[in-house]
Structure formats: structure tokens, C-alpha cells
């Protein structure tokens, strides 16, 4: 047994060693996301800043691509993290898994370098294959698409095979099918068509069925594992509830796709489908509220990892406000006609991605660090009273809430002036962009962005140091299932 | 198929929709808390939240011109009924699932 | 309390999850097949590429209570009538150009994209281009080099993206064709360029 308090890979099983690599890349990309978001935000205030060098389009592309990729890395890492414990079997193709990790990471690096230094190409299919596909969120050029699909297929088979050889639990079943769906859907975004309506129809399959269906179920699987691990909830209950959540999330989420099909040329029946299922989408959230209260009342939870627990609570609130409240505020077509494609969408996007996904992956980071340092105690009486994790938690969450509120103000002005009054014309667009409220919103967004950035720096510092020198170790009973 | 909202109703719509979700959650929270801790006086507050939700939904429906079209009126009806019953249903599921798996009934805590 | 309700059992919810997911997906597939047939090129919702040979207007429809695109008299783009294949080739060049120049990470198209620059759904009909006589030339010049054309009080400018003559014509063709798509009234209350004689 290694000395507690020091990061030692002897504390981790094979899958977890690989998971840590995924987590390190994930947090690096999180940093890139924050950096390029700040640059793009600054360009709203000083349009000449980096003009012609790193234009807004480039910064924004790196900002959102880093987001997608760091979250996927976070998910893949989380899957590898729980794989051996859940299956009670060694990862069958660990060497291959490692190889694929390096291949994937190399591909991501090349893609980002091309984004930054080549940026654009001529109007030919070769540009789409080699430089940039030019479709929001899935800009990765086609060669990289194919590389990503091959890589994740290997991860998928690795996971499925490990579960098959070991214990095929309920969580395993949901996880494997969800991974298959998640990566299968990516194929819907891998072709060129001149017809922009059909282009965006399939594009939404990828974006929506990821973030409002398969990613949510992925998180539900991670949560299920986490609940057993951190709070010691019984497997039978956890798995039944996993199925309930899957039924609610897929039941409302798959056809909830309709709320993206209001204005892209698609028929009018999508209005009612989108409206109805959007009204249903908060139901899984209501279910979580009731169940969380029930659980908290039914057991006297003790936990040995306060940062993880705090981030899970942040997840519950963030998911509820970001996806639930912010989503429903502008989802009905009667109002979405004015808010679609304004800072409203940006406001909702920021809070929802952070609240629903960033929080849970950060919780996993803390869980990983704890084990990596030999199951050290990470509750009360941390050195300095754990000020680093508490401050980073506060700064990141307040920063995000602040950014969201700022963009909400800007979006409100934009939906009124640009959309309702001027009808999305060029003149109307700039009338709104120059309105004092809009401009102030953009200023506040950048200031809260600084706060968020400080929180991020502190988070990295904390993850590198928390538990260092800690001598107290968890009593094994606290981790008993 | 839809009657776009008018500019003067924007704020009403944003505010009412936010209240629908917030009160929906508050209702669920108070309802569950009242049951688990058997705090009787919380239950009326839970239903008060639902009453607020009911009003918010109608305000939203009015502002977003939902009631003039039968299909959208149905959506409103489903919301009112769905949000009323969802916490009840989920509560029964909680009790049912936990009773099955746990040797110690949940009520004992 | 009873300990054996079927509706609270693991196996019931496993089956429910599978059926709900499968059912939703089947419904989505059926809707997708119907929608794709309605939004293929050459339908009333998404006109053929040769629509660029015609005037396109955006008019209020009393029955639908929103504006809809109306295809009018012959008004060939750049004064040259194209057959279906030529039109498709030109629009394709334009669409490929918008993708390879990453337009979507500043602009929105059909409302999707980034929010740093105006929506392009009805860019062809925008009053910014002045009159319909000079519109095509204005658009070409702007697309090829927008960097010296200040057009707003914030000093926000579009960068020069090395767009060739032919690519610029393609982009204009793509924008003209896109403006003919029936987007259920999006953008609402749009004020179109004067196109009547």
C-alpha cells in the first residue's frame, strides 16, 4: 500500500489509470474552452482585438469544440473509471485502450492546430475533409470524424467486452446501449448536402440527441454508480431508478427534438410535437427532486468527499435551472420565434452545459483525485479548511450565473429590438447590438467570465494539491456497498 | 398553427414560464418533504405552490395565445394535470421501490 | 405497506424504459421520413435551386398569420438564366463556401449558428443592399472584401476571407435560394427590400 496523500497509480486499477489520462486531457480542454471564450467575449467589446489574426469565428469555434470534446473525454474517463469495479473484471483490452487514447488525443491536437493556423479553406469538399466542416459544434473535419468514430468504437467494444466477461449489471446494460446510441448518432452528422434544411435536420439529431438524451443518460449511469459509491445506496434501488430515469428522459427527450424543428423549413406539425414534449422535459427533473428528498430523508448520509458532494448538489441545481427553467422560458414556438438564435440561446446554453455536465465531470475529478491519493479523507478539517475547493466552487458557479444573467439581459433586448420590432434585418441586428443594455450585458458577461476563469485556475490548483500530505485514510466501511 | 406572441407580452411569457418550472419544483419539494418528515402544515404550502403554478400556466397560456387553438389548449391541460400528479406518482414509486429492496422500511427513519 | 407492487419492480421499469425508448425512436423515424420528403429540394417548402431565376418575395399570409416566401416573375440572378443543373452547381459552390469559410461561427443561418453577426436566412432580401438594381453587385463586393466596409456603430467588421469571384457568386446564389425556404414565418416582421417595379 502506497503512502496516503501522494498521487500513486498503485492506488488505481487498470481502467482508472486510463481514466486519469482522459481526465487530464478533459481539464486541459476545459481550460482552452475558458480561454477562447474569454477572447471571443472580449471581441464583442473591442471588435478590433485580434481581428484578422484570431477572428471571432475561430475563437468561438475552438470555444465550443473544446466544450464538446472535454465533456466527451470526461464521460469516457468516467466510464473507464467505474468499469473494473462495476464489472469486477479487468479491462479486457487495456493496451488497445491506451493506444486509442493517444491516437484520439493526437487527432484532437491536430484538429485544434488546423483550426488555429489554417482556419479556412476554399469552397471545395476538400476543405470539409481536411480543415473544417463549418457546422456549429461538429466542425471537426471529416478525416477526424472517421478517426473519432473508429476510436470510440474501440472504447465501446472494450467496455462491452469487459462487462460481458465480468458482471453484466443493470448499469452496464444501460451504459453500453447508451454509448452505442451516442456514437451511432454521430454518424448522422457526417455527410455533406447542399440542402440546408436537410443539413440542419440531421445536424440537430446529433446536437439534440446528444445533449438532451444520450448525454443525460450517460450522466444518470455515472450518478447511479456514484450514489452507490459515495452514499452506499443499494444496487437494486439505484438500478430501478436508472430505468425510471431512462424512461422519463428518452420518453420526453427523443421527441423533444421537435423544438428545434420550428424554423428550418420543416413542416408545421413540429410546432405541436416540440411544444408538447418540451412541456414534458421538466418531468424527469421533478422526479429527481422528489427522489432526492426521499433519499435524504430515508438515510442519514455520511460522505467522505465533500467537494464531490458539493459539485453533485451544484449539478442538481444547475441542471434544474439551466435545462429546466432557462429552457422552458423560451421553448414555446409563440415566443421562440423571437428568441431563436439570439443571446437567449447563448444564456441557456451556458447555464445548461455547465449545470448539467461540467458539474458532474468536476465531481468525478474529485472522486478520482481522492482514490489516486490512496483514499484520503476529504471531508472536514482539510488543510486551510479546504478554502481552495470552496472558493473555486463559489467562483465558478457565481461566475457562470453572472454570465448567464448578463446574456439574458442582452438577449431580452435583442429579442425585442432586433426580432420583434425590426424583424432580424441587418439594421435591426445592429440596432440591438449597439443598445446600451445589450452592450452592458456583454461587459458584465466578460467580468463574470474573469470570475469564472479565476475559479477555474483555483480548481486546477486544488485538484493538484488537495489531500497532499493527508495522513487520514477512509475507513473501508464508509465505502461498503 | 401558432399565433406569435406580441411584444408587450414578452416579459409576461418569460416570467410566467420560469414560474411554472420553479413552482413545479417547489411543489414537488414541499410535497416530498411534508410526506417524508410527516410535517402536516407543509402540505397546504405544497398545494399553494401548485395553485401558483396553475395561475402561472394560465397566464402563460393567455400571453402566448395558447387557448385560442384546441391543440395548444390540450397541451396546457396536460401540463396542469401532469404537474399535479407527477410528484404523487414519483412518491409512490419511491415508496414502492425502496420497500422492495430494503429490509428496513423507509418510514422508520 | 405492500412490498410487491408490480409497478415498482425493476423488471417492469427495465421493460418500460426499453419500450418507451424504442417507441419514441420508431415515431421519430416515421416523422423523419415524412419530413425529409417534405423538405427535399423541389418541394413547396424547399424550392428547386432554379428558383434563383425568379424574384423572391416575403409576404404576409393572412391564413397562416406570418410571412411566407412568394416566388414571383422571372428575375435571373446576375441576369443569366440557369438550367436546373447549373443552378444546383452554383448553389452547391455557395453552400460549400459558407461551410469552408466557417460563416456559421459568426452568423446564424435559419437562426442556427453564432450571434456575432446578422442572421442570413433572408439576407438576400435585406434593405441593407439598397435597391434591387445594385443589390447583386453590392453583395459580391461585400462578400469578397468586407474588411474596409464599416457598417455599424460598434466597429464590428467581417474579415476578408479570400473568397474568389466565382465563390462569391455561389454564396449570393445560395443566399437567394435560402431566402425562398418556407421557415414558418421566421424571421418574423422582416422588412424586405423594395422589389416592385
Which pLDDT does position A156 carry in this prediction? Answer: 94
For the segment A74-94, the average pLDDT, to the nearest whole number, is 96
Rounded to whole angstroms, the Cα distance separating A178 from A446 reads: 37
Residue in chain B closest to C62 (alpha carbons) equals B3
Considering only A58-62, B39-43, C19-23, C83-87, which range has the smallest mean pLDDT? B39-43
CB atoms A120 and C104 under 8 Å: no
Which pLDDT does position A1 carry in this prediction? Answer: 53
Which pLDDT does position C144 carry in this prediction? Answer: 96
**Global pTM?**
0.94
- Kindly report the three-state secondary structure assignment for every residue of chain A: CCCCCCCCHHHCCHHHHHHHHHHHHHHHHHHHHHHHHHHHHHHHHCCCCCCCCCCHHHHHHHHHHHHHHHHHHHHHHHHHHHHHHHHCCCCCCHHHHHHHHHHHHHHHHHHHHHHHHCCCCCCCHHHHHHCCCCCCCCCCCHHHHHHHHHHHHHHHHHHHHHHHHCCCCHHHHHHHHHHHHHHHHHHHHCCCCCCHHHHHHHHHHHHHHHHHHHHHHHHHHHHHHHHHHHHCCCHHHHHHHHHHHHHHHHHHHHHHHHHHCCCCCCCCHHHHHHHHHHHHCCHHHHHHHHHHHHHHHHCCCCCCEHHHHHHHHHHHHHHHHHHHHHHHHCCCHHHHHHHCCCHHHHHHHHHHHHHHHHHHHHHHHHHHHHHHCCCECECCCCHHHHHHHHHHHHHHHHHHHHHHHHHHHHHHHHHHHHHHHCCCCHHHHHHHHCCHHHHHHHHHHHHHHHHHHHHHHHHHHHHHHCCCCCCCECCHHHHCC
For the segment B52-60, the average pLDDT, to the nearest whole number, is 97
Which chain A residues contact residue C92 at CB under 8 A?
Answer: 194
Position A252 pLDDT exceeds 80: yes
Distance (Å) from the alpha carbon of B55 to chain A's nearest alpha carbon? 16
Give pLDDT tens digits for A398-438. Answer: 999 999 999 999 999 999 999 999 999 999 999 999 999 99
**Identity of the residue in A286, A293, A333 whose CB atom sits nearest the CB atom of B36:** A293
Position B103 pLDDT exceeds 50: no
B89 shares contact with chain C (CB less than 8 Å): no
A139 shares contact with chain C (CB less than 8 Å): yes
Cell 465533456 belongs to: A71
A329 shares contact with chain B (CB less than 8 Å): yes
CB atoms C8 and B93 under 8 Å: yes
**Identity of the residue in C1, C4, C64 whose CB atom sits nearest the CB atom of B95:** C1
Q: Which of residues 252-271 of A touch C (CB under 8 A)?
A: 254-255, 257, 261-271
Which chain C residues contact residue B1 at CB under 8 A?
Answer: 64, 184
**Identity of the residue in A40, A247, A338 whose CB atom sits nearest the CB atom of C20:** A247
CB atoms A341 and C99 under 8 Å: no
Which pLDDT does position C151 carry in this prediction? Answer: 79
A383 shares contact with chain C (CB less than 8 Å): no
**Interface A:C, Cβ pairs < 8 A:** 264
CB atoms C64 and B1 under 8 Å: yes
Rounded to whole angstroms, the Cα distance separating A157 from A130 reads: 28
**Identity of the residue in B20, B66, B97 whose CB atom sits nearest the CB atom of A328:** B20
Which pLDDT does position B105 carry in this prediction? Answer: 41
Position A199 pLDDT exceeds 90: yes
Kindly list the partner chains of chain A, i.e. chains with 3 or more CB atom pairs below 8 Å: B, C
A338 shares contact with chain C (CB less than 8 Å): yes
B92 shares contact with chain C (CB less than 8 Å): yes
Position A375 confidence tier, pLDDT thresholds 50, 70, 90: confident
C4 shares contact with chain B (CB less than 8 Å): yes
Q: How do the pLDDT tens digits run along chain C, 197 residues long?
A: 445 688 889 999 999 999 999 999 999 999 999 999 999 999 999 999 999 999 999 999 999 989 999 999 999 999 999 999 999 999 999 999 999 999 999 999 999 999 999 999 999 999 999 999 999 999 999 999 999 887 788 899 999 999 999 999 999 999 999 999 999 999 999 999 988 76
Position A217 confidence tier, pLDDT thresholds 50, 70, 90: very high
Residue in chain C closest to B107 (alpha carbons) equals C1
Which pLDDT does position B101 carry in this prediction? Answer: 55
**Identity of the residue in A128, A341, A439 whose CB atom sits nearest the CB atom of C100:** A128
Considering only A31-40, A184-193, A301-310, which range has the smallest mean pLDDT? A301-310
Distance (Å) from the alpha carbon of B40 to chain A's nearest alpha carbon? 16
ipTM value, please give it. Answer: 0.96
B88 shares contact with chain C (CB less than 8 Å): no
CB atoms A250 and C8 under 8 Å: no
A299 shares contact with chain B (CB less than 8 Å): yes
- Assigned C-alpha cell, A186: 454521430
Position B107 pLDDT exceeds 60: no
Which chain A residues contact residue C24 at CB under 8 A?
Answer: 250-251, 254-255
B72 shares contact with chain A (CB less than 8 Å): yes
Position B16 pLDDT exceeds 70: yes
A416 shares contact with chain C (CB less than 8 Å): no
For the segment A217-240, the average pLDDT, to the nearest whole number, is 88
B80 shares contact with chain A (CB less than 8 Å): no
- Mutate: best of B6, B27, B28, partner A, most A CBs <10 A: B28
Cell 427534438 belongs to: A257
B10 shares contact with chain A (CB less than 8 Å): yes
Give pLDDT tens digits for A315-336. Answer: 999 999 999 999 999 999 999 9
Position A63 pLDDT exceeds 90: yes
Which chain B residues contact residue C3 at CB under 8 A?
Answer: 99-100
**C77 CB contacts (<8 Å, ≥6 apart)?**
C52, C53, C136, C172, C173, C176
Which pLDDT does position C82 carry in this prediction? Answer: 97
Which pLDDT does position A191 carry in this prediction? Answer: 93
**Identity of the residue in C34, C91, C121 whose CB atom sits nearest the CB atom of A194:** C91
Which chain B residues contact residue A285 at CB under 8 A?
Answer: 25
Q: How far is CA C12 from CA A201, A441, C4, C6, in A?
A: 34, 50, 12, 7
Residue in chain C closest to B90 (alpha carbons) equals C8
Residue in chain C closest to A340 (alpha carbons) equals C111
Q: How far from the centroid of its chain's Cα atoms is residue C93's Cα?
A: 15
Which pLDDT does position C3 carry in this prediction? Answer: 52
H/E run at residue C60: strand C54-61
Which chain C residues contact residue B96 at CB under 8 A?
Answer: 5, 7-8
C63 shares contact with chain B (CB less than 8 Å): no
Torsion of CA A98, A104, A109, A111, to 10 degrees: 170
B97 shares contact with chain C (CB less than 8 Å): yes
Which of B52, B20, B36 has its CA nearest to residue B107? B36
**Identity of the residue in C39, C112, C159 whose CB atom sits nearest the CB atom of A266:** C39
Position A479 pLDDT exceeds 50: no
For the segment A84-88, the average pLDDT, to the nearest whole number, is 95
Which chain A residues contact residue B25 at CB under 8 A?
Answer: 285-286, 289, 320, 324
Which chain B residues contact residue A299 at CB under 8 A?
Answer: 109
End-to-end, the C-alpha distance of chain B in Å comes to 52
Position A159 pLDDT exceeds 60: yes
Distance (Å) from the alpha carbon of C114 to chain B's nearest alpha carbon? 22
How many other CB atoms are found less than 10 A from the CB of residue C194?
A: 9
Which pLDDT does position A477 carry in this prediction? Answer: 43
Which pLDDT does position A228 carry in this prediction? Answer: 84
- Mutate: best of A135, A265, A415, partner C, most C CBs <10 A: A265
Residue in chain B closest to A280 (alpha carbons) equals B79
Amino acid at each position: 500500500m502506497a503512502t496516503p496523500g501522494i498521487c500513486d497509480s498503485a492506488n488505481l486499477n487498470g481502467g482508472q489509470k486510463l481514466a486519469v489520462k482522459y481526465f487530464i486531457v478533459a481539464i486541459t480542454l476545459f481550460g482552452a474552452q475558458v480561454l477562447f471564450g474569454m477572447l471571443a467575449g472580449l471581441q464583442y467589446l473591442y471588435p478590433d482585438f485580434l481581428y484578422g489574426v484570431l477572428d471571432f469565428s475561430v475563437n468561438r469555434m475552438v470555444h465550443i469544440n473544446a466544450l464538446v470534446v472535454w465533456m466527451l473525454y470526461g464521460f469516457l474517463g468516467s466510464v473507464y473509471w467505474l468499469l473494473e469495479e462495476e464489472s469486477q473484471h479487468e479491462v479486457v483490452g487495456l493496451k488497445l485502450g491506451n493506444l486509442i487514447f493517444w491516437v484520439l488525443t493526437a487527432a484532437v491536437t491536430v484538429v485544434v492546430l488546423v483550426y488555429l493556423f489554417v482556419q479556412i479553406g476554399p469552397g471545395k469538399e476538400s476543405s470539409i475533409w481536411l480543415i473544417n466542416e463549418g457546422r456549429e459544434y461538429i466542425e471537426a473535419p471529416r478525416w477526424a470524424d472517421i478517426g473519432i468514430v473508429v476510436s470510440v468504437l474501440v472504447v465501446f467494444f472494450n467496455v462491452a467486452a469487459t462487462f460481458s466477461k465480468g458482471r453484466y449489471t443493470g448499469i452496464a446494460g444501460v451504459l453500453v446501449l447508451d454509448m452505442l446510441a451516442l456514437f451511432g448518432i454521430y454518424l448522422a452528422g457526417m455527410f455533406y448536402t447542399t440542402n440546408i434544411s436537410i443539413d440542419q435536420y440531421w445536424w440537430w439529431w446529433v446536437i439534440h440527441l446528444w445533449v438532451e438524451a444520450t448525454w443525460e443518460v450517460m450522466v444518470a449511469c455515472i450518478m447511479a454508480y456514484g450514489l452507490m459509491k459515495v452514499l452506499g445506496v443499494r444496487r437494486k434501488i439505484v438500478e430501478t431508478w436508472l430505468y425510471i430515469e431512462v424512461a422519463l428522459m428518452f420518453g420526453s427527450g427523443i421527441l423533444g427534438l421537435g423544438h428545434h424543428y420550428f424554423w428550418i423549413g420543416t413542416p408545421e406539425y413540429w410546432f405541436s410535437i416540440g411544444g408538447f414534449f418540451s412541456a414534458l422535459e421538466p418531468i424527469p427533473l421533478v422526479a429527481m427532486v422528489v427522489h432526492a428528498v426521499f433519499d435524504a430523508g430515508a438515510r442519514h448520509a455520511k460522505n467522505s468527499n465533500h467537494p464531490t458532494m458539493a459539485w453533485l448538489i451544484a449539478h442538481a441545481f444547475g441542471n434544474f435551472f439551466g435545462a429546466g427553467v432557462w429552457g422552458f422560458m423560451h421553448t414555446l414556438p409563440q415566443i421562440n420565434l423571437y428568441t431563436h438564435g439570439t443571446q437567449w440561446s447563448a444564456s441557456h446554453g451556458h447555464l445548461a452545459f455547465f449545470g448539467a455536465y461540467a458539474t458532474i465531470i468536476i465531481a468525478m475529478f474529485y472522486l478520482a483525485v481522492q482514490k489516486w491519493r490512496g483514499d484520503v479523507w476529504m471531508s472536514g478539517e482539510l488543510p486551510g479548511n479546504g478554502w481552495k475547493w470552496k472558493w473555486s466552487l463559489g467562483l465558478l458557479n457565481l461566475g457562470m450565473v453572472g454570465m448567464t444573467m448578463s446574456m439574458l439581459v442582452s438577449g431580452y433586448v435583442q429579442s425585442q429590438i432586433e426580432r420583434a420590432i425590426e424583424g432580424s434585418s441587418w439594421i435591426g441586428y445592429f440596432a440591438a447590438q449597439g443598445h446600451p443594455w445589450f452592450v452592458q450585458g456583454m461587459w458584465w458577461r466578460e467580468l463574470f467570465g474573469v470570475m469564472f476563469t479565476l475559479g477555474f485556475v483555483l480548481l486546477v490548483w486544488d485538484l493538484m494539491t488537495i489531500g497532499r500530505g493527508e495522513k487520514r485514510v477512509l475507513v473501508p466501511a464508509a465505502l461498503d456497498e | 398553427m401558432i399565433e406569435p406572441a406580441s411584444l408587450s407580452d414578452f416579459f409576461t411569457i418569460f416570467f410566467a414560464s420560469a414560474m411554472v418550472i420553479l413552482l413545479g419544483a417547489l411543489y414537488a419539494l414541499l410535497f416530498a418533504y411534508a410526506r417524508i418528515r410527516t410535517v402536516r402544515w407543509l402540505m397546504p404550502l405544497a398545494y399553494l405552490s401548485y395553485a401558483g403554478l396553475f395561475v402561472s400556466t394560465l397566464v402563460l397560456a393567455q400571453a402566448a395565445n395558447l387557448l385560442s387553438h384546441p391543440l395548444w389548449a390540450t397541451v396546457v391541460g396536460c401540463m396542469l394535470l401532469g404537474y399535479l400528479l407527477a410528484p404523487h406518482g414519483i412518491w409512490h414509486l419511491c415508496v414502492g421501490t425502496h420497500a422492495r429492496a430494503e429490509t428496513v422500511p423507509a418510514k422508520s427513519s | 405497506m405492500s412490498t410487491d407492487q408490480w409497478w415498482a419492480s425493476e423488471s417492469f421499469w427495465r421493460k418500460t424504459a426499453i419500450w418507451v425508448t424504442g417507441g419514441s425512436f420508431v415515431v421519430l423515424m416515421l416523422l423523419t421520413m415524412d419530413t425529409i420528403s417534405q423538405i427535399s429540394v423541389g418541394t413547396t417548402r424547399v424550392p428547386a435551386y432554379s428558383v434563383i431565376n425568379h424574384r423572391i418575395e416575403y409576404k404576409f399570409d393572412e391564413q397562416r398569420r406570418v410571412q411566407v416566401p412568394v416566388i414571383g416573375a422571372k428575375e435571373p440572378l446576375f441576369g443569366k438564366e440557369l438550367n436546373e443543373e447549373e443552378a444546383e452547381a452554383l448553389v452547391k459552390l455557395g453552400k460549400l463556401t459558407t461551410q469552408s469559410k466557417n460563416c456559421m461561427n459568426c452568423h446564424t443561418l435559419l437562426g442556427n449558428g453564432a450571434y456575432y453577426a446578422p442572421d442570413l436566412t433572408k439576407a438576400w432580401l435585406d434593405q441593407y443592399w439598397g435597391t434591387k438594381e445594385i443589390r447583386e453587385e453590392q453583395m459580391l463586393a461585400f462578400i469578397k472584401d468586407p474588411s474596409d466596409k464599416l457598417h455599424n456603430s460598434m466597429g464590428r467588421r467581417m474579415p476578408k476571407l479570400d473568397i474568389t469571384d466565382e465563390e462569391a457568386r455561389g454564396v449570393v446564389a445560395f443566399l437567394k435560394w435560402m431566402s425562398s425556404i418556407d421557415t414558418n414565418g421566421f424571421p418574423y416582421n422582416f422588412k424586405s427590400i423594395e422589389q416592385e417595379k
